[in-house]
Amino acid sequence: MNASRTWRPKPFIENPKLRWGITIGVLLYMLLALGSVEVNWMRIYAGLDRGLQFFAAFAQPNFTERWTDISEGLAESLVMTVVSTVIGIIISIPIALGASRNLAPLPIYLFCRAIITLSRTFQEVIIAILFVAIFGFGPFAGVLTISFATIGFLAKLLAEAIENIDPGQGEAVRSTGARWWQWLNYGIQPQVMPRLIGLSLYRLDINFRESAVVGLVGAGGIGATLNTAFDRYEFDTAAAILILIIGIVMFAEYSSSAIRKRVQ
Amino acid sequence: MPVEMNSQEKIWKHRDRKTQLTHWAIWFFGTALFVWCWQLVSEKTEWFFVLDAPTIAADIGSRMVPPRWEYIDKLWVPLWDTLNIATLGTLLALVLAVPVAFLAARNTSPSPTLLRPIALLVIVSSRSINSLIWSLLLVSILGPGVLAGIIAIALRSIGFVAKLLYEAIEEIDENQVEAIKTTGASRSQVIAYGIVPQILPTFVGVSVFRWDINIRESTVLGLVGAGGIGLQLQASLNILAWPQVTLILLMIFLTVLFSEWLSAKARHAII
């Protein structure tokens, strides 16, 4: 009796054993994971009041009371962003060249890839803690942290761009008798330059966001002010800072995407 | 190709005069800005400490080895918590991000003038604020613990997932949607059979990618009290127990490598 054949959408995973295995595994994990999350309902109930206060504070952010602290913190964050992005780019370029398999011999390639992996693995804040311990409190530790984090991002993506270039152009330049340096400058650089500019602008954006965080561990910037505001439950000041951060990020995002459109 | 005449000879130039000047001006002001900013940072820096840094780094380095292996017994539970914060946070974010993405995409938004800007604002706010700041806020509201970490990760990830997803929705092939519409499908059926199959690979890819990032982020949330291995890191740093710090950093390194391997596997399986 197959009169009522109905159509079903094709399952996402075709192999039924694998499908059920994954489903059961996921369910089991969810049970275990949700079971291990301890929720203190009393504490949450007590905190709800504070949560409401915070949302109310967003309606009436207080820019004036701590304005000197806020403006100094923001200025420091912006300055750190510029310095660390520039330093990050300057260091990233040679590392990206070293991490491109079509340019570098194997030992250099592995060494540069190791630096990239190291920089990408650790969250900025962990690096910031170590740098603060080594270089002392202040924006210098923050600048080093963000520069280091920039390397992992920029060098990796730039190396990918270099590996994907059209080798014909490089070969054409080389066949004119160009030296290694000229080959790099005229055969490869023009091909990856738009990508480099785009990535750098994007990273400028990210670095501003990061510079707001490293302050939490004493590495300079607006983060310290924000932390103090939360510690004192001054939610109106915290809301003001968050609104300013969001505003600056939005502005940076729009202007950088406008520039990127012109360049690419 | 700009060519300049110099008395009788033609001279090849890389750029014409105007571009040359623009480039020069950009470089000049860029360098000036950098030098000025560097000066501001330098004023606030205690250079004595920086010059002293190699000694201190060597000192800390010598205290960090060998790692205190016995301490690993106390790390399994925090590691499990870290994994849960990242995974459950990502799942929560996915659930919340899908409607936001549909509201934000120009071709599916039910009201482009009212709901779309709100959805875009949600995306931008979520993306601008680091998960550490979210957890700072949530710890002061919900109290310390894993829950604050999960929600912080979710709040930070909504913007990321929704942004990439709504861009994918805007780039779908409208012919397929039209084909489903001509069969007389309802609005929800059009979404289920015309749009979802087209964005599903992006959705899965983005989810796995974000999960990978979240593993990295969840390792530090404990520094502000939001659970996970960061709590142990903070505790060890407070008592200057450098051998324990080494072991924790090593475990974080391995966890992140594992998550990267897993997400690369998952992405290869899907795409």
Taking alpha carbons only, the member of B133, B186, B201 closest to residue A239 is B133
> Tell me, which fold does domain B74-270 have in CATH?
MetI-like fold (1.10.3720)
pLDDT in tens, B162-188: 999 999 999 898 899 999 999 998 888
Distance CA B160, CA A77 (A): 23
The mean per-residue pLDDT over the stretch A91-97 comes to 94
CA angle, residues B256, B260, B265, in degrees to nearest 5: 150
- Structure-token pair, residue B197: 């199959």
More confident call, B127 vs A5: B127
- Choose the weakest-confidence range: A105-109, A171-175, B20-24, B66-70: B66-70
pLDDT of residue A146: 94
User: Mutate which of B33, B43, B52, B132 to disrupt the A interface (most A C-beta within 10 Å)?
Assistant: B132
pLDDT of residue A2: 57
Find how far residue B222's CA is from the centre of its chain.
18
- Choose the weakest-confidence range: A94-98, A112-116, B17-21, B90-94: B17-21
CB contact under 8 A, A83 and B38: yes
pLDDT in tens, A38-56: 777 888 888 888 888 888 8
Sign of CA dihedral A57, A61, A66, A68: positive
Distance CA A105, CA A116 (A): 17
Residue B132 has pLDDT above 80, yes or no: yes
pLDDT of residue B154: 95
Domain ranges of chain B: 3-61, 74-270
The mean per-residue pLDDT over the stretch B220-233 comes to 88
- Give the confidence band of B84 by pLDDT, cuts at 50, 70, 90: very high
Choose the closest CB to A123 out of B219, B237, B257: B219
CB contact under 8 A, B128 and A209: yes
Size of interface A-B (CB pairs under 8 A): 143
Of chain B, the percentage scoring pLDDT greater than 90 comes to: 34
Calculate the CA dihedral of residues A258, A259, A264, B4 and round it to 10 degrees. Answer: 130
CA distances from A98 to A108, A178, A182 (A): 6, 20, 17
Question: How far does the CA of residue A192 sit from the closest CA of chain B (Å)?
Answer: 17
Kindly state the DSSP code that residue B66 receives in the 8-state scheme.
S
Distance CA B134, CA B143 (A): 13
More confident call, B105 vs A42: B105
Supply φ then ψ for residue B258, to 5 degrees: -60, -45
CB contact under 8 A, B37 and A249: no
Taking alpha carbons only, the member of B207, B97, B226, B202 closest to residue B155 is B97
- Choose the weakest-confidence range: A160-169, A172-181, B3-12, B235-244: B3-12
Of chain A, the percentage scoring pLDDT greater than 70 comes to: 98
Distance CA B136, CA B155 (A): 12
CB contact under 8 A, A40 and B143: yes
Residue with tokens 């950009």, as numbered in its chain = B26
Search chain A and give the residue with CA nearest B219. Answer: A123
CB contact under 8 A, A136 and B49: yes
pLDDT in tens, A80-90: 999 999 999 99
CA distances from B128 to A206, B35, B90, B134 (A): 9, 27, 17, 10
Residue A221 has pLDDT above 70, yes or no: yes
State chain B's mean pLDDT as an integer.
88
pLDDT of residue A96: 94
Question: How far does the CA of residue B218 sit from the closest CA of chain A (Å)?
Answer: 9
pLDDT of residue A149: 94
CB contact under 8 A, B57 and A76: no
CB contact under 8 A, A230 and B56: no
- Cβ within 8 Å of A, B 228-257: 233, 237, 249, 252-253, 256-257
pLDDT of residue A158: 93
Choose the closest CB to B40 out of A54, A79, A226: A79
Domains of chain A: 67-263 (1.10.3720.10)
The mean per-residue pLDDT over the stretch B149-160 comes to 93
pLDDT of residue A224: 87
pLDDT of residue B108: 84
Question: How far does the CA of residue B131 sit from the closest CA of chain A (Å)?
Answer: 9
Residue A219 has pLDDT above 90, yes or no: no
Q: Is some CB atom of chain A closer than 8 A to the CB atom of B120?
A: no
Give contacts of B80 with chain A, Cβ < 8 Å.
36
Taking alpha carbons only, the member of B84, B79, B81, B86 closest to residue B131 is B86
- Choose the weakest-confidence range: A86-100, A150-164, B227-241: B227-241
Q: Please write down the HEC assignment for all residues of chain A.
A: CCCCCCCCCCCCCCCHHHHHHHHHHHHHHHHHHHHHCCCCHHHHHHHHHHHHHHHHHHHCCCCCCCHHHHHHHHHHHHHHHHHHHHHHHHHHHHHHHHCCCCCCCHHHHHHHHHHHHHHHHCCHHHHHHHHHHHHCCCHHHHHHHHHHHHHHHHHHHHHHHHHCCCHHHHHHHHHCCCCHHHHHHHHHHHHHHHHHHHHHHHHHHHHHHHHCCHHHHCCCCHHHHHHHHHHCCCHHHHHHHHHHHHHHHHHHHHHHHHHHHHHC
State chain A's mean pLDDT as an integer.
87
Residue A110 has pLDDT above 70, yes or no: yes
CB contact under 8 A, B84 and A135: no
Pick left, alpha or beta for residue A39 (phi over 0 → left; psi -120 to 50 → alpha; otherwise beta): beta
Of chain A, the percentage scoring pLDDT greater than 90 comes to: 27
Residue B1 has pLDDT above 70, yes or no: no
- Give the confidence band of B271 by pLDDT, cuts at 50, 70, 90: low
The mean per-residue pLDDT over the stretch B149-156 comes to 93
- Choose the weakest-confidence range: A36-40, B92-96, B149-153, B226-230: A36-40
Residues 6+ positions from B163 with CB-CB distance below 8 Å: B101, B104, B123, B127
pLDDT in tens, A147-197: 999 999 999 999 999 988 888 888 898 899 888 888 888 888 888 998 898
pLDDT of residue B14: 72
